Amino acid sequence: MGYSAIVKDAPGDFSVKPNIPDYKKMREEFRWEKLSEELDWFSDTQINIGHIAVDAHLKTDRRDKKALIWESQKGEVEEYTFADLSRLSNQFANVLVKQIGIQKGDRVFFFLERVPEIFIGILGTLKAGAVIGPLFSAFGPDAVKDRLADSRAKVLVTSPMLKKKIADILPSLPHLENTMVVNRRNAHLSPDDISYEAAMEQASEDFETVRTSKDDFAIMHYTSGTTGKPKGAVHAHNAIIGHYATAKYVLDLHPDDIYWCTADPGWVTGTSYGMFGPWSNGVTQVVYEGAFSAKRWYTFIEKWGVTVWYTAPTAIRMLMKAGDGLPEQFNLDSLRYTCSVGEPLNPEAVIWGQKVLGRPFHDNWWQTETGAIMIANYPVQDIKPGSMGRPFPGIHAGIVDDEFNELPEGQEGNLAVKPGWPSMFRTYWEKEDLYRSCFKNGWYITGDKARKDEDGYFYFMSRADDVINTAGHLVGPFEVESVLIEHPAVAEAGVIGKPDPIAMEVVKAFVSLKKGYTSDEDLLHDIQTFVMKRLSSAATPREIEFIDSLPKTRSGKIMRRLLKSKELGLPLGDTSTLEDD
């Protein structure tokens, strides 16, 4: 296994000198404390992500530099300087504190499209000392309800369209005291809603950012596991050190860059690298509101002269599918550095980038819990296509066996990281035992299987659990199964990830029906719509197979392992001695 081909990056001179001159030397000399001195702390122990991302630039020549260039689906453009974002986020912080009465540590959630207000709101919430919780706008009502209920969010910032989608669940959330609606298109609001625009108009532009401690909670992102509902991974303000460092040395951001991160703000990449990483580095970023389209994406890169581009394997595979002729119709010469994250990046995609775009994709690995990039390919290192690269300086990653002892190079095992990096999650919200169970024998166990080669490059093998990665979005099979069995026709359901050439995996459900129901196309579509409305399109089974009964352990737990083997045509193993849980 493994790919021996090596891509020599950016052959010839680098047009811009990489921030990381020598990986080995930097690893030897790296100290997080030294790096964090580059940030504008309030005191030895006090730092605030919102301050670092925008206000820290006000004292510099970046004050009137563009921080955000936003283009809507319809082509409208809005531009915000660091000074603009500072002023607007101050106003938002005042709305929260003075008009709503939000206090330090309260949770403010965002269920909003990719509009400028989500950036302003998130920065303002952090400056007010409250905790942000961004939710993917494609979520359905149940997915939103679970997260708002679990976090006991006090405020939800949303839009008229998204509010309509979740209207039915709002009365069942006693802790949700306020719904603020961003009303860009002047829709009719209900009298209970706070109008974002009206509230902002009344709010002062002066706000003294809360001097949060580095350990105060700042960010909550829900992530799916094998069992149970999604859990809220919580990060502290200290995480900004990790965002800053990795944006500088992995994304190689330079002052003149025009940076584009295609991730949605509802996911961790969209906050760590769609806000905090680039802005703590004082870099201009462009944001495209619209959905994926190969033509529009190339147009966007050409129009704005994107230099650094951070995207995901599914998108790259979709670009590849759109054909090599398409990029030729655009001038993409501005692109200097391209990175990818979220799922395994096939070697062909790295080579395709090199051949067709003139830039190979630099894969990197991290997850919601790690808060920032842990393993990466760097501009100064050859890429081994198929590898996620080497640990970030300051990060010690290893492969451990099931007793959590480190394995030698070449052996497959559990991917683990030595705890203590700045952006490490601090807990799963109100699930401290679950959090602690992730740390074994001095390692944080990531839940991924990988191996390391003799040069210290890591290769992703698979997930250690049943979690499905579809187009970079983690879907917990349990969540989907729970919704499926709420459908009146469904008796039992088992959900697996089925390999897919574009999305890596898609959700496949095995379903047995209650007496009196017949499996036909109409029922299949009805079940799909049922899941889509409640969870999201990513979580909706692309395929449903009706079977008489599902394989179970003696204690009744559905054996997804057998369903997966059946799907892949693999030997089923000994099924006569079904294990107990």
**C-beta closer to ligand AMP: residue 438 or 578:** 438
Q: Binding of ligand AMP at residue 469 (CB under 6 A)?
A: yes
Among 327, 344, 413, 477, binds ligand AMP (CB under 6 A): 344
What is the spatial distance between Cα 290 and Cα 370, in angstroms, rounded to a whole number?
Answer: 28
Among 448, 466, 481, 505, binds ligand AMP (CB under 6 A): 448
The window from 79-87, 179-187, 236-244, 446-454 that contacts ligand AMP (CB under 6 A) reads 446-454
- List the interface residues with ligand AMP, window 265-294 (CB under 6 A): 268
Q: Binding of ligand AMP at residue 389 (CB under 6 A)?
A: no
Q: Binding of ligand AMP at residue 343 (CB under 6 A)?
A: yes
In Å, how far from its chain's centre is CA 553? Answer: 34
Among 131, 261, 399, 474, binds ligand AMP (CB under 6 A): 474
Q: Binding of ligand AMP at residue 363 (CB under 6 A)?
A: yes
Among 463, 557, 561, 566, binds ligand AMP (CB under 6 A): 463
**C-beta closer to ligand AMP: residue 363 or 481:** 363
Q: Binding of ligand AMP at residue 242 (CB under 6 A)?
A: no
Among 297, 428, 457, 460, binds ligand AMP (CB under 6 A): 460
- 581 three-class SS: coil
The window from 81-89, 444-452, 486-494, 556-564 that contacts ligand AMP (CB under 6 A) reads 444-452
The nearest distance, CB 502 to ligand AMP, in angstroms, is: 15
The nearest distance, CB 313 to ligand AMP, in angstroms, is: 8
Neighbouring-strand partners of residue 475: 468
Among 240, 380, 388, 484, binds ligand AMP (CB under 6 A): 388
Q: Binding of ligand AMP at residue 538 (CB under 6 A)?
A: no
Could you write out the DSSP letters of every residue in 513-579?
Answer: EPTT----HHHHHHHHHHHHHHS-TTTS-SEEEE-S---B-TTS-B-HHHHHHHHHT------TTPP
Q: Binding of ligand AMP at residue 251 (CB under 6 A)?
A: no
**C-beta closer to ligand AMP: residue 100 or 372:** 372
Among 134, 270, 342, 386, binds ligand AMP (CB under 6 A): 342
Among 341, 397, 416, 511, binds ligand AMP (CB under 6 A): 341
- For residue 212, what are its two tokens? 């949060």
The nearest distance, CB 423 to ligand AMP, in angstroms, is: 13
CA neighbours closer than 13 Å in the CB half-sphere of residue 144? 32
Distance in Å from the first CA to the final CA of the chain: 33
For residue 237, what are the contacts with CB-CB under 8 A and spacing of at least 6? 47, 48, 49, 126, 212, 213, 214, 215, 216, 218
Query: What sign for the dihedral angle of Cα 271, 274, 275, 279?
Result: positive
Of 131, 83, 85, 127, nearest in space to 107 by CA: 131
DSSP class of 174: T
The nearest distance, CB 310 to ligand AMP, in angstroms, is: 12
What is the spatial distance between Cα 50 and Cα 57, in angstroms, rounded to a whole number?
Answer: 11
Asked whether the beta carbons of 342 and 269 are under 8 A apart, the reply is yes
- Alpha helices of 37-132 — where are they, by DSSP H? 49-53, 82-94, 116-127
**C-beta closer to ligand AMP: residue 250 or 544:** 250
Of 477, 455, 475, nearest in space to 560 by CA: 477
Q: Amino acid identity of 373?
A: I
Q: Binding of ligand AMP at residue 223 (CB under 6 A)?
A: yes
The nearest distance, CB 446 to ligand AMP, in angstroms, is: 6
Q: Site residues (CB under 6 A) for ligand AMP? A: 223, 268, 341-345, 363-365, 367-368, 388, 446-448, 460, 463, 469, 474
